[in-house]
Chains A and B, each alone.
Chain A
Amino acid sequence: MNNKIKRILPQLLTILFVVLIFGFFTINAQVNMDNRGIDFGFGFLKQEASFDMQFTLLDYDGQDSYGWAYVVALLNTLLVSFLGIIFCTILGVIIGIARLSSNFLIKNSAAWYVEFFRNIPLLLQIFFWYYAALRALPLPETAEPWFGVTYMTIKGYFIPAMIWENLNIFVYCLLASFISIIFIRNYAKNLQEKEGKQLPLLYISLAILLVVPGLSFILGGVTLDFEMPVLKQLSATSYTYEGGIGLPPELIALVLALSLYTSTFVAECVRAGIQGISKGQKEAAASVGLTPNQVLKLVIMPQALRIIIPPTTNQYLNLTKNSSLAAAIAYPDLVLVFAGTAMMQTGKAIEIVGITMLTYLTISLLIAALMNWYNKKIEIKEK
């Protein structure tokens, strides 16, 4: 009996405490909203937003609803995160491997890169790129082309736009080639486990990736044209580029800062992963007669990836959350558009901040769930 009370009483007290806090807040919020004449509800999502966004992926103008503004802003956030993740992975893997190089200079340069970018607050880095570095770029009329057709100017980076015809056929071909590559990989794995034969997988995959979408150009009627950015005079002194795609400087500054900052953490994960494989593994693999390439591909990497992937995903998650710093340099992401502009206009503080937090929370929990599933899958099953 005594034991039962000991178990139930603390739980009851905790629940009571939480309920009391929530109740206190709810009652206060109710009173405050009544006094100010605001009512709680999500009806505003259907109202006309009547503000503009500088940069959108989907069609949007001021006549669209707040709900649509939310979707467009969320896509902007995801775009930054996506680009940041790609670049930080490439950079991070290179730096991480460089930190393990036998070359004294390479090792130390990589170490200093990591120490340098990791120890400066991300917000300062974003500000540095946006307010200092990118402001030093040339004006559109004086910009020299990069790679012949792209222009890096103070107003953004202008690249040619791709104009597809029958894009869907091309996408289907791409999908088909991916699926066939997966099948071939499975087949090769079985073949290796049963007969010990190895197929030149990399070349086969590359060939499929090139040939199948290539065929779609010849047989499927897919055509690809480029629309070049062309200099255009707006007024006596103001120029801009028209045509093509213009990436705003806010986006460039954000992606630069986020990928440089996060790449240092990814590099540390990669380094820890490769170092985590004991030397014995390498020696054992070499002693059964595998070539150095095979050692890396069949023995080291599968084990290292198991250590590398979970913390790296965590870093991707951090990058996604950090992309909310976009609000500080007025890139129209979820926080700026929704928790900033939309809230100022509607005054629905509780609903809007709540939706914003829930959105990030959902992304985090989704990735965490995915990670748990992946960890379960790659776990070493001990017999």
Chain B
Amino acid sequence: MKNISFLQIQSKSPLTNMYMGSTLLSIAIFDVFVSSFFSINITSFLPQNISTFLPLIIGFIGLGIFRMEYTGIHLLDKVNKNINTNNFNAFLTLLIIFVVIKATPPALSWMILDANISGDTKEACTGTGACWTYIKVWFRRFMYGMYPNELHWRINSAFILVIALGFVGYFFKENLKKYLALYYVVIYPIIAFLIIYYLISGGSFGLVWVETGAWGGLSLTFIVSFFCLIFCFPLGMVLALGRRSNLPAVRYISVGYIEFWRGVPLITVLFMSSVMFPMFLPEDFFMDKLVRVIIAITLFEAAYCAEVIRGGLQALPRGQYDAAKSLGMGYWKMHIFVILPQALKLVIPGIANTFLALVKDTPLIFVVGLAEIAGMLALAKTNPKWLGFAMEGYIFAAIIFWIICYAMSKYSYNLENKYKTER
């Protein structure tokens, strides 16, 4: 497959080959471009089968002609090295280019050119493309669920406060740095919980009570994943230590817990929280559905968190343990002051990945009747005034989640690189 020899025009100057090859390639690309953007088939005089494959053949010959070992022409060498190393590669290159050209016009016209965004009703959507009016009208519902419109500032300000408090750690003075872990593991979750409880559900300080059934949309996704993360982290830490303990009872119980939760799908855990868990509580004790779901996901994610933290604990060299012990430190002192600070730094990227998985899992709470974004989409889809726009809704949600998850995965990737070089 190295070269088809009869295509190789033996000429003294590589320039001739380059001009011939690139002319053929441009003709091929032009043909596809015109037929896909303006639907003009310039080779319509040929039989249909040939006319379909003609650009592929011409482009293939073109690439074959200017494929050379070394020419000294910078651009040509770069092209040859990157997309044109052999016949198979050239073929795949052409295929990818043509598919992209072919797919652009329909996607473009559906998404933008033929789409509608003006108006407030279904009738405003007259184009053949997407109906972004639907997203515009339902936007607040997708973001805040059934939360009353005039109270949305409460959700926004609660989020801003919680995020701002999260950054407080950066401004700690040097002499306060030792309390950083205490702040993030104990104080911050409590404050965040109080803020979200008092601001979003209200009921005191003159704020109107909004029951959790009205919460929903993307903000609920954030609330659930945020609480699950901050609660599952300490639990995961205890379990990881338990799994590495040399006390058999502690170890076996931790292993049993971790393996149990890792072995069952989240959806059954959610079913458990909604139908089985109330049976296990005292009769007159009522627990909100949202709280039950958060507890269930926390218990579930703690197992995964524990495994990540265990990885960090195992990665520490034995010398650290020995050194701490030789200074006369006990188990707890050793772990709190020597082992955990180092191990937790190692597992930050892993925790970020766990959190990413957690955010991707939260739409599942839809199956127990909590209307976060997937639930709101299902609700909007069946609204008699807005039938038939499922595609737009799911694409919108997919874009939002994609942006969040992609940003997070890039961030965790950067963290990984950062900590890799520091060690």
Once A and B bind, how many residue pairs between them come within 8 Å at the CB atom? Answer: 159
The answer on a CB contact under 8 Å between B363 and A123 is yes
CB distance from B145 to the nearest CB of A (A): 17
CB distance from A357 to the nearest CB of B (A): 5
Query: What separation, in Å, do the CA atoms of A322 and B398 have in the docked complex?
Result: 18
- Residue of B265, B276, B397, B406 touching A349 (CB-CB under 8 A): B276
Query: What separation, in Å, do the CA atoms of A35 and B278 have in the docked complex?
Result: 13
The answer on a CB contact under 8 Å between B409 and A33 is no
The answer on a CB contact under 8 Å between B247 and A10 is yes
Query: What separation, in Å, do the CA atoms of A256 and B324 have in the docked complex?
Result: 53
Query: What separation, in Å, do the CA atoms of A101 and B93 have in the docked complex?
Result: 12
The answer on a CB contact under 8 Å between A119 and B265 is no
User: With A14-B249, A32-B283 in contact, do A103 and B93 touch (Cβ < 8 Å)?
Assistant: yes
CB distance from A24 to the nearest CB of B (A): 8
- Residue of B248, B361, B397, B409 touching A11 (CB-CB under 8 A): B248
Query: What separation, in Å, do the CA atoms of A119 and B413 have in the docked complex?
Result: 14
Q: Does A127 interact with chain B (Cβ within 8 Å)?
A: yes
The answer on a CB contact under 8 Å between A131 and B394 is yes
User: With A116-B402, A325-B267, A356-B268 in contact, do A132 and B279 touch (Cβ < 8 Å)?
Assistant: no
Which of B20-28, B82-90, B187-195, B196-204 forms part of the interface with chain A? B82-90
Q: Mark B168-196, 1 if CB is under 8 A from A, else 0.
A: 00000000000000000000000000000
Closest A residue to B377 using CB positions:
A127
Which of A164-172, A239-247, A360-368 forms part of the interface with chain B? A360-368
Contacts of B268 in A (CB 8 A): 324, 335, 339, 353, 356-357, 360
Contacts of B249 in A (CB 8 A): 11-12, 14-15
Q: Mark A92-129, 1 if CB is under 8 A from B, else 0.
A: 00000000011111100100000110111111110110
CB distance from A340 to the nearest CB of B (A): 8
Among A14, A360, A368, which residue has the most Cβ atoms of chain B within 10 A?
Answer: A14
Contacts of A321 in B (CB 8 A): 264-266
Query: What separation, in Å, do the CA atoms of A325 and B361 have in the docked complex?
Result: 11
CB distance from A21 to the nearest CB of B (A): 10
Contacts of B93 in A (CB 8 A): 103, 105-106
Contacts of A339 in B (CB 8 A): 268, 271
Closest A residue to B365 using CB positions:
A123
Query: What separation, in Å, do the CA atoms of A22 and B250 have in the docked complex?
Result: 16
The answer on a CB contact under 8 Å between A349 and B279 is yes
The answer on a CB contact under 8 Å between A18 and B253 is yes
Chain A at the B interface: mostly helix, strand, loop or mixed? helix
Chain A interface size, as a band, is: 35 or more
Q: Does A194 interact with chain B (Cβ within 8 Å)?
A: no
Query: What separation, in Å, do the CA atoms of A28 and B377 have in the docked complex?
Result: 38
Query: What separation, in Å, do the CA atoms of A135 and B388 have in the docked complex?
Result: 10
Q: Does A343 interact with chain B (Cβ within 8 Å)?
A: yes
- Residue of A25, A102, A105, A322 touching B280 (CB-CB under 8 A): A25
Chain B interface size, as a band, is: 35 or more
Q: Does A31 interact with chain B (Cβ within 8 Å)?
A: yes
Contacts of B85 in A (CB 8 A): 102-103
Among B249, B269, B361, which residue has the most Cβ atoms of chain A within 10 A?
Answer: B249
- Residue of B259, B272, B394 touching A128 (CB-CB under 8 A): B394
CB distance from A111 to the nearest CB of B (A): 12
CB distance from B130 to the nearest CB of A (A): 11
Q: Does B282 interact with chain A (Cβ within 8 Å)?
A: yes
User: With A124-B398, A364-B263 in contact, do A353 and B283 touch (Cβ < 8 Å)?
Assistant: no
Q: Does B4 interact with chain A (Cβ within 8 Å)?
A: no
Closest A residue to B82 using CB positions:
A104
Q: Does B291 interact with chain A (Cβ within 8 Å)?
A: no
- Residue of B262, B278, B374, B405 touching A364 (CB-CB under 8 A): B262
Within 8 A of A (CB), among B246-293: 247-250, 253, 259-260, 262-269, 271-272, 275-276, 278-283
Q: Does B366 interact with chain A (Cβ within 8 Å)?
A: yes
Query: What separation, in Å, do the CA atoms of A106 and B391 have in the docked complex?
Result: 29
User: With A106-B92, A328-B367 in contact, do A132 and B250 touch (Cβ < 8 Å)?
Assistant: no
The answer on a CB contact under 8 Å between A324 and B267 is yes
Contacts of B360 in A (CB 8 A): 119-122
Q: Does B381 interact with chain A (Cβ within 8 Å)?
A: yes
User: With A123-B363, A335-B268 in contact, do A28 and B250 touch (Cβ < 8 Å)?
Assistant: no
Within 8 A of A (CB), among B194-248: 242, 247-248
The answer on a CB contact under 8 Å between B96 and A353 is no
CB distance from A123 to the nearest CB of B (A): 4
User: With A106-B92, A121-B360, A132-B394 in contact, do A28 and B280 touch (Cβ < 8 Å)?
Assistant: yes
- Residue of A105, A327, A354 touching B367 (CB-CB under 8 A): A327
The answer on a CB contact under 8 Å between B82 and A119 is no
The answer on a CB contact under 8 Å between A119 and B394 is no
Closest A residue to B96 using CB positions:
A105
Contacts of A284 in B (CB 8 A): none
Query: What separation, in Å, do the CA atoms of A122 and B92 have in the docked complex?
Result: 29
Query: What separation, in Å, do the CA atoms of A131 and B405 have in the docked complex?
Result: 23
CB distance from B59 to the nearest CB of A (A): 13
Within 8 A of B (CB), among A21-46: 25, 28-29, 31-33, 35
Query: Chain A: residues with CB nearer than 8 A to chain B?
Result: 7, 10-12, 14-15, 18, 25, 28-29, 31-33, 35, 101-106, 109, 115-116, 118-125, 127-128, 131-133, 135-136, 321-322, 324-325, 327-328, 335, 339, 343, 349-350, 353-354, 356-357, 360-361, 364-365, 368
Q: Can you pick out 24 interface pairs between chain A and chain B where the beta carbons lie within 8 Å of each other?
A: A10-B247, A11-B248, A15-B253, A31-B282, A33-B279, A102-B89, A105-B96, A118-B409, A121-B359, A121-B360, A122-B360, A123-B374, A125-B398, A131-B390, A132-B395, A321-B265, A322-B265, A324-B268, A328-B366, A343-B275, A350-B276, A353-B268, A360-B265, A364-B264
Closest 7 CB pairs of A and B: A364-B263, A119-B405, A11-B249, A321-B265, A132-B391, A104-B82, A361-B263
